[in-house]
Amino acid sequence: MEVRREKLRALSPLEEPSPPVELRVRQLRARDLLRGDLEGPELEKHVEESVLTTTLAKAVGWGRANSIFPATFGLACCAIEMMSIVSPRYDIARFGAENMRASPRQADMLILSGRVSIKMAPVVRRIYDQMLEPKWVIAMGACSSSGGMFANYAVVQGADKFMPVDIHVPGCPPRPEALVYGFNKLQRMILGNPEPGWRRRYNALGTEEWARAATGKASREEVDAYAAARELRTSHESARSRGSRRGRA
Amino acid sequence: MPDAPGLELIAQELNEASDESVLGTYHEHGQACLIVNPQRILDVLRWLHGTPGQEYRFLSSLHGVDYLPAEPRFGVVYELLNMPRVERLRVRAAVADPGPDSLPELDSCVELFPTAEFQEREVYDFFGIVFRGHPDLRRILMPEDYVGWPQRRDFPVGGEPVIFTHNEREVPRWFE
């Protein structure tokens, strides 16, 4: 069978699905490649079209971000909203996190859904310590982010006083959509491409508290982090000015 | 519900049974209340529990109150219920504050009402009122190493200010 390479070159892989004959052409070319029949520019072209290169860190991050096992762990009223994210209406299975594990040993994400009282804090910390690396934490709602309406003697004023928190989702309680959105932000963090959020909206990248080189109190690591944040900003801006998302492989 | 004359009768009989046990009574909104000398609280409860014609056998609630500017400062309130007659009677022990260095004390009523065990622990936890004769008096809701009696009126509420745009110049800059 004659291979119609002209047609193949004209067709972008992101456009319409290939007709069956194109698939057959690709199969034959792959067979040729394996036999060693493809040579020179033809081989180069085949590799360009059909092989994706990436770094190991990116590939691992892609796998981690799209297969997260949350711990079955509810603290208060936010837990009702958290439970509904696995329902068909919100369906976090679209993002690969529908499998709530009953044991922290099998989980890699903890959703702090509700206020943490000072008696509960050591328990939460212990559950967090029992989870295996890598692990992430979402503070859901005002109470676990800042104490919320419970500004009193019994409630910890923000869960990040005793454990690291990656994402804070505001709301009292947040809608399930908000939690799913926060989860998507966490996925971007895991992929190494965090969303700067309001700092980008207000053109304030590099003003993070930990990166204040100008105060003279910053350590060497903080100055490096400051430079990294600046670099991230320029890369974001150039990505934005490039515009189209479709061109990215 | 004992009506106002019935409440006075109960108070009179109690004072005859044990001296100086009832300090006062009031009858408001159809609710009867005896204000009782804290030294005699166990006698009063035992009399109400066991005397034929009274038989308040059910303790539906036990809780503490802090009336800080008033004297005596604390109240421990027993909500008694007679199940066959569906009559309720409130008994309030007026407990004085012995000062900042010691805790007020009161007799425990666990021997009469076993349900009082946890509720007395709760009153101890939040108000620091010690119940003499309680089998296992320790904190129940707050952590065991907690310091202070958080429901007392002179205990600080706690919490910390949240930085909003309207007060960010006033609250301490926690990140610096």
Q: Provide the shortest C-alpha distance from residue B157 to chain A (in Å).
A: 5
Q: Which of B142, B147, B163, B165 to mutate to test the interface with A (most CBs of A within 10 A)?
A: B142
Complex confidence, ipTM: 0.78
Q: Pick from A149, A152, A153 the residue to mutate for testing the B interface (most B CBs within 10 Å).
A: A153
In chain A, residues 216-245 whose CB comes closer than 8 Å to chain B:
217
- Which is nearest to B76 in space by CA: B66, B84, B85? B66
Provide, as residue numbers in chain A, all residues whose Cβ is less than 8 Å from the Cβ of B175.
209
The answer, for A202 touching chain B at a CB cutoff of 8 Å, is no
Q: Judge whether residue A249 has pLDDT over 70.
A: no
In the predicted model, is pLDDT for residue A242 greater than 60? yes
In this structure, the number of other CB atoms found within 10 A of the CB of residue A213 comes to 15
Closest Cα partner for B77 from B28, B30, B36, B49? B36
pLDDT of residue A212: 57
Q: How far apart are CA B60 and CA B119, in angstroms?
A: 10
Q: What mean pLDDT comes out for the span B23-29? A: 91
User: What pLDDT, on the 0 to 100 scale, is given for residue A2?
Assistant: 57
Measure in Å the smallest separation between the Cα of A227 and chain B Cα atoms. 20
Lowest mean pLDDT across A35-39, A59-63, B19-23, B102-106: A35-39
Tens of pLDDT, residue by residue over B143-169, are: 989 999 999 999 988 877 777 777 777
The answer to whether B141 contacts A119, with C-beta atoms less than 8 Å apart, is yes
Nearest CB to B157; choose among A118, A152, A209 = A152
Confidence of residue B20 (pLDDT cuts 50, 70, 90): confident
Give chain A as a DSSP string: ----HHHHHHS-TTSSPPPHHHHHHHHHHHHHHHHT---HHHHHHHHHHH-----HHHHHHHHHHTS--BB----STHHHHHHGGGSTTT-GGGGT----BSSGGG-SEEEEES--BTTTHHHHHHHHHHSPSS-EEEEEHHHHHH-TT--STTB-S-GGGTS--SEEE-SSSPPHHHHHHHHHHHHHHHTT----THHHHTT-TT--GGG-GGGS---HHHHHHHHHHHHHHHHHHHHHHH--STT--
A154 in contact with chain B, both atoms CB, cutoff 8 A: yes
Residue of B nearest to A209 (CA): B175
Please tell me what DSSP assigns to residue B113: -
Say whether residue B139 is in contact with chain A using an 8 A CB cutoff: no
Query: Does B147 lie at the interface with A, CB-CB under 8 angstroms?
Result: no
* Residues of chain B contacting residue A119, judged by C-beta atoms under 8 Å apart: 141-143
Instruction: Please determine, for residue A246, whether its predicted confidence score (pLDDT) is greater than 50.
Output: no
- Please write the tens of the pLDDT for every residue from B40-99: 999 999 999 988 888 999 999 999 999 989 989 999 999 999 999 999 999 999 999 998
pLDDT greater than 50 at residue A222:
yes
Range(s) of chain A covered by CATH 3.40.50.12280 = 68-191
Chain B residues 117-136 with CB within 8 Å of chain A: none
A206 and chain B in contact, CB less than 8 A: no
Selected for mutation to probe chain B from A117, A119, A145, A160 (highest B CB count within 10 Å) is A119
| Arch. (CATH architecture) of A68-191 | 3-Layer(aba) Sandwich (3.40)
At residue A228 the predicted structure's pLDDT band, cuts being 50, 70 and 90, is confident
Q: How far apart are CA A117 and CA B163, in angstroms?
A: 21
Distance from CA of B140 to the nearest CA of A (A): 11
Where does the pLDDT of residue A248 fall: very low under 50, low under 70, confident under 90, or very high at 90 and above?
A: very low
Q: What tokens does B131 get?
A: 């119940």
- pLDDT at position B151 is 92
pLDDT level of residue A201 (50, 70, 90 thresholds) = confident
Nearest to B143 among A119, A147, A217 (CB): A119
Per-residue pLDDT averaged across A82-106, rounded?
92
pLDDT at A244 over 60: no
Instruction: Decide if pLDDT at A210 tops 60.
Output: no
User: Fold for domain B4-132?
Assistant: Beta Polymerase; domain 2 (3.30.460)
